[in-house]
Amino acid sequence: MTASVHSFDDAIALSRDELGNFHGRTTPAYRNMIGPFGGITAAVLLNAVLQHPERLGEPTALTVNYAGAVPDGPFRIVAKPVRTNRSSQHWIVEQWVLEDGQECIATTATVLTTARKATWAGSDIPAPLTGGPAAGITPLRFAGVPPWFEQFDMIPLTGAIPSQWDGQEHSDSTSRLWVRHAAPRALDYCSLTAACDVFYPRIWLKRALRVPAGTVSMTIYFHANQAMLDSTGTGYLLAQAKGQEFRDNYADQSGQIWSQDGSVLATTHQLAYFKE
């Protein structure tokens, strides 16, 4: 890695072999507590589709299933266009890793890419605020957190990580924050994907208890076209997520990502495991 390569581009870098397999590897910059940050795994699976010579159109929907641990080291991605229509294409993607010397699937994804045209546009989810962080506000720097946190500038607005793990239940599990790459990098579909997973587990906020928890499935609907990505550039994103139901080891959340000027870039949902 040379100084000119952004840590994000380094983490999602792939090479393609003569059989059409994509090869990548985990990087220390995006380590989470166990394995890589889920957002970087989602981004690298999407990147395999984006790099595929048969791809038609831009990312429109993505579902990623975190099926097993991704160990430090190399991995292989198989991205297969299973159905190509006139203006849409459906993909099945698998991430294979080595576990005890045996290759197995760690992550699966389905991707929809489409050639979109301008249509009537409207929204039922106006941005709760616009304009970026208030003047003089600097990103939070956390102590004792996994490396991936340091790759992002985050400015919590509501629903910050509880400062006291006192088990006092919260009526509302909404978090809202400004977020961008810590080292400037223009937004693209891969980094928008990663931004959809910057939220800490909703169960921690809901219960003010730090129980073991982790994402098992995440879905993203991409609303941003290339012009909207370009106009967002290196600016902050407004990211919001709210827990919905918490029961029997699993909880889901619903989220939205807006640009600084209030455009909806993506909506996202996820299901997370929790213990106890």
Least distance to a second copy from the beta carbon of 274, Å? 7
Please, what's the largest Cα pairwise distance for the chain?
A: 56
The residue (of 155 and 224) whose beta carbon lies closer to a second copy is 224
The residue (of 161 and 182) whose beta carbon lies closer to a second copy is 161
Least distance to a second copy from the beta carbon of 120, Å? 6
Distance of alpha carbon 175 from its chain centroid, rounded?
16
Residue 197: count of CB within 10 angstroms of its CB: 24
Least distance to a second copy from the beta carbon of 100, Å? 14
Least distance to a second copy from the beta carbon of 88, Å? 7
The residue (of 155 and 241) whose beta carbon lies closer to a second copy is 241
Least distance to a second copy from the beta carbon of 63, Å? 4
| Angle, CA of 89, 92 and 93, to the nearest 5° | 125
Distances 218 to 152, 196, 270 between C-alpha atoms, Å: 20, 9, 4
Residue 173: count of CB within 10 angstroms of its CB: 22
Residues of the shown chain interacting with a second copy in the complex, contacts defined by CB under 8 A: 60-61, 63, 65, 67-68, 82-83, 85, 88, 90, 92, 94, 104-106, 108, 110, 112, 114, 116-125, 169, 171-174, 206-207, 216-217, 219, 221, 223, 225, 242-250, 252, 254, 256, 264, 267, 269, 271, 273-276
Least distance to a second copy from the beta carbon of 138, Å? 31
d(CA 83, CA 110): 12
The residue (of 69 and 186) whose beta carbon lies closer to a second copy is 69
Least distance to a second copy from the beta carbon of 1, Å? 31
The residue (of 13 and 96) whose beta carbon lies closer to a second copy is 96
What tokens does 158 get?
């509501």
d(CA 15, CA 172): 44
Distances 143 to 85, 149, 163, 170 between C-alpha atoms, Å: 49, 10, 13, 24
Amino acid present at 66 = Y
What's the sign of the alpha-carbon dihedral 274, 171, 192, 140? negative
Residues 6+ apart with CB under 8 A from 160: 175, 177
The residue (of 27 and 63) whose beta carbon lies closer to a second copy is 63
The residue (of 52 and 223) whose beta carbon lies closer to a second copy is 223
